[in-house]
Structure 1
Amino acid sequence: MSERTATATRFDRRLLPPMLLGSVLNPINSTIISVALIPIGRALGAPPSETAWLVSALYLATSLGQPVMGRLIDLFGPRRLFLAGTTLVGLAGVLGTFAPNMEVLIASRVLLGFGTCAGYPASMALLRSESRRTGEDNPNGVLTALAVANQTIAVVGPLLGGLLIGVGGWRATFALNVPLAAAAVLLGLLRLPKHTGDSPERGNLAARLDLPGMGLFAAMLVSLLLFLMNLHLRNGYLLVITVAAGAAFGVRELRAASPFIDLRVLGGNTPLLATYARAVVAYVVAYSFLYGFSQWTEEGFGLSAFHAGLVQIPMFVTAIGVSLVAGRRRGVRGKLLVGAVGQIAACLVMLTLGGESPLWMLLLVALIFGVPQGLNNLALQNAVYFQADPERTASSAGLLRTFAYVGSMIASATTAISFGDRADTGGMHELAWVMLAAGVLYLLVTLFDRTLGRVRAPGTD
């Protein structure tokens, strides 16, 4: 085989830097805020029930934006959407850095949510196109590299946040987005292919995008997430809107020539639907721990933001090691089962913690949580890649993130309800019981899904 032919059958490694950086912009902003919530609340005079909106605003925007951006990438290719999204991240970073009040800070998180939507589906679309070019289902284990990068950032985020707060205050956690976005834009301009995707005529652009479908999807999702953030009988009208918008969305998508979400294909793909369901409950546990446990270690246990980040170092080390080892093994069912057991074990230990607990017990909880942190995202990502319609890889990947963010919104709402005005030990225990129930459900959904045995990641032994 000639050198040119060998090169043509290998994954283009020049794509890796923008793929990795673009895909981690969302998890870094999702996790770095966890240790900044208490300092922000103190600076702006806001209790945990209000600062929870800094979490929810990002996920509300991202839950809506991920499938929309994924559909646009499926149609037009990743380059333009990647550049637009990362530019928006930089602008949001500037807005958050100089925000004078909570309202502007929340607005900056909304912009961050929309801006970070492009990175992950763009990476999945590039991976699919490279798979077609090289003939490899998983070129050089890039799926594992993406998962490890996301896990690394997700777990190191609190530690990085603590360091930034210690050096420059909580505003430094927003300013970080400016250099990250600049680097992503530069890498996108230099490395991403210019001619990918379709170039539909202006006349059929609206039909290809299915704007009515997107609008109904937005109404359904926003009303649902707002209800989750304001759980009360007086807000029951939001559930009525959710059901009505969902019904209208279903009718629209079944009739549309080019649907935003092809419900016929999705409805016939039971394994993919089960994966999405697992994502919801997995992220209820993961993000309840990330936000709830971090706030409790600061306010209920008395650690500084910096030391609260240090407590999560065992989770960082464990998650990376587990991802690297598990990424070389075929199949996803075993990863999901071990991840479920790890979540349950960590929740049980959380129920034993109190303000007088020794520090090593906090480190133990973080260590145990590193196992599901390293396994679940990797397994869910691999499952979607091999279960999804190849022509809708980006939008299917975007939907995975949407379902994950629904789980994170439930986690945020549960955390706000459990803690109220103060992140004390009683509230942490209430949160742990909810997490335990979600972890058990995750285990059951995985145990009874026999289709997972057929999902195998080739080329990863």
Structure 2
Amino acid sequence: MTLEKSEKFIILAVALGVILNPLNTTMITVALPAIQSDFQLSATDISWLIASYFIISAIFTPLIGKLSDIYGRKRIFLVGLGLVVVSSILAPLSPNLPVLLAMRGIQAVGTSALFPAGIGIIRHNIRHNQNRVIGTLAVFATTSAAFGPTIGGWLIQFGGWPVIFYVNLPILVIGIALTVMFIPKDKNNMEKAYKLDGIGVLLFSSFITCWMVFLLGLEQGIQIGTLIFAIVLSILFYMYEKRKDDPFINVNFFRKNLNVALIFGQYILTTVIFFTVLLSSPTFIQSVLDTSSYTAGMVMLSLSIFAMIMTPISTRWMEKAGFRIPLLSGVFIGLAGVILLFTIEDQSPLWWIGFVLAVTGISNGIQNIGLQNFLYSFISVEESGIAAGLIMTSRFIGNILASSIYGVAFATGMNVGNMNTMAMILMVVAIVLVPGMLYVTSYKKKEYS
């Protein structure tokens, strides 16, 4: 077998691993009504089921990225795949929420290992069009996330919510086989001095969790004590990390690149809108409109297809027109999509909900790829690794905030009134995005050089 064919199998193995995190974060959205009914859960419980996955992913993705550089990327990649196998077999057997949370936690750790280890494998084993390959993997991840609700909706029709875990197994079998057969065994760097930033990890996980507790408790009023504790932990984390030579999260990167930090902020807010809509829509379609998971999945196609279609279109648009006009267009289209959420009622036809979701999909397709490309246009090659890691962390933070909004907005149940409450919160986010995008796109590349 020629090297080129081997490279193709390496890329396929990594791609199968990379899609598992985004696929499993969104596929479960269609299963939420069934899980909520089976375990008699509240909206807050459901929020923790979703948000805990992102909190664990946000913690372990950068951590395992460092470990893979030392202990071997192929080894860590296989460990990640193995953990997902365990969780995919045991999660459907969960008798209650705590066990399901534990299994989802194992799954989150496993899938968190796959992205950083996979990118490391590509960078060290693929010699042809490496950047294009990494870009393709990003499209794979985005596409799998967008199609997660539709895939989940189809599968649940045949075996209930447990089947969304079993569907991972064929992907895992192929991924493990390709990894063992085609990915070269890399050298260990265990002689390299490495000190785990344990305090940084502890502070990061503590302040993220504390903010989640505060946000999910807003339905009962503002918890001043929790808010103060969250703020103190955030400040302590920042002060501690900025003095570390090898920090868990490189906060000095943001200090030295304040305008780049604003791009990450825009990315977080964009993710908040997209994932809040993605998280709430399948449950609304099933619970309020009284449809099946299959129907909900079909309606969600409008969100995923338009998000996917706009990715290559936006890339070409920005190559010709620059970033400012496309990104501003994406922001205003997103604002229009949020406004349209107020038109959704308990008697709304499915085609209209599909149209509203399509508008959100178009906006996200433009902003998701646009902000990433815009960021990399200002980042040196030497800093591309940290930028990629921070993009993933930003996405997880956006997803965590979206989970909090879902828990607060629908604390009293899924209905039109609470949907309007959610839309009102997202309206504020969409409005904040406008001046933010005007500001960050006003900078020229030379200002970052």
TM-score normalised by L of structure 2: 0.88
* Structure 2 partner of 1:199: 189
Aligned mates of 1:384, 1:130 — CA distance in 2: 25
Residues 392-403 of structure 1 aligned to structure 2 (within 5 Å): 393-403=384-394
* Structure 2 partner of 1:254: 242
Aligned AA (1:205): Y
Whether the 8 Å CA contact 2:26–2:146 is kept in 1: the answer is yes
* Structure 1 partner of 2:280: 292
Structure 2 counterpart of 1:229, from 184, 202, 216? 216
Whether the 8 Å CA contact 2:215–2:408 is kept in 1: the answer is no
Shift of 1:427: 0.7
Residues 179-194 of structure 1 aligned to structure 2 (within 5 Å): 179-194=170-185
* Structure 1 partner of 2:202: 215
Shift of 1:160: 0.9
Identity %: 27
Shift of 1:90: 1.4
Shift of 1:17: 1.0
Aligned mates of 1:187, 1:384 — CA distance in 2: 33
Is 1:155 the counterpart of 2:142 in the alignment?
no
SS where residue 347 of structure 2 aligns? Answer: coil
Which string of whole-angstrom CA distances, capped at 9 and with x for unpartnered residues, describes residues 68-88 of structure 1? 223334555532322222211
In structure 2, list runs of 5 or more residues that go unmatched: none
* Structure 2 partner of 1:434: 425
Aligned AA (1:67): P
Shift of 1:395: 4.5
Is 1:27 the counterpart of 2:22 in the alignment?
yes
Aligned mates of 2:329, 2:273 — CA distance in 1: 15
Aligned AA (1:52): S
Which string of whole-angstrom CA distances, capped at 9 and with x for unpartnered residues, describes residues 315-366 of structure 1? 2322222223334453544443232222212111111110112222112112
* Structure 1 partner of 2:294: 306
**What's the C-alpha RMSD, in Å, of the aligned pairs?**
2.8
Aligned mates of 2:122, 2:436 — CA distance in 1: 29
Alignment size in residue pairs:
441
Residues 73-222 of structure 1 aligned to structure 2 (within 5 Å): 73-75=68-70, 78-126=73-121, 128-129=123-124, 139=131, 141-195=132-186, 199-201=189-191, 204-206=193-195, 209-222=196-209
* Structure 2 partner of 1:273: 261
Whether the 8 Å CA contact 1:94–1:174 is kept in 2: the answer is yes
Shift of 1:247: 3.3
* Structure 2 partner of 1:458: none
* Structure 1 partner of 2:438: 447
Structure 1 counterpart of 2:61, from 63, 66, 90? 66
SS where residue 41 of structure 2 aligns? Answer: coil
Structure 2 counterpart of 1:353, from 341, 344, 359? 344
Aligned mates of 1:303, 1:162 — CA distance in 2: 11
Aligned AA (2:104): R
TM-score normalised by L of structure 1: 0.86
Structure 1 counterpart of 2:312, from 305, 310, 324? 324
Structure 1 counterpart of 2:332, from 320, 329, 341? 341
Specify which structure has the bigger relative contact order, considering alpha-carbon pairs within 8 angstroms and separated by 6 or more residues: 1
Shift of 1:386: 4.8
Aligned mates of 1:184, 1:272 — CA distance in 2: 35
Whether the 8 Å CA contact 1:74–1:392 is kept in 2: the answer is no
Shift of 1:411: 1.4
Which string of whole-angstrom CA distances, capped at 9 and with x for unpartnered residues, describes residues 404-427 of structure 1? 222222211211221223210111
In structure 2, relative to structure 1, the CA distance for the partners of 1:379 and 1:184 (3 Å cut) is farther
Choose 415-424 or 174-183, whichever is displaced more. 174-183
Whether the 8 Å CA contact 1:120–1:397 is kept in 2: the answer is no
In structure 1, list runs of 5 or more residues that go unmatched: 456-461
Shift of 1:384: 4.7
Whether the 8 Å CA contact 2:44–2:408 is kept in 1: the answer is yes
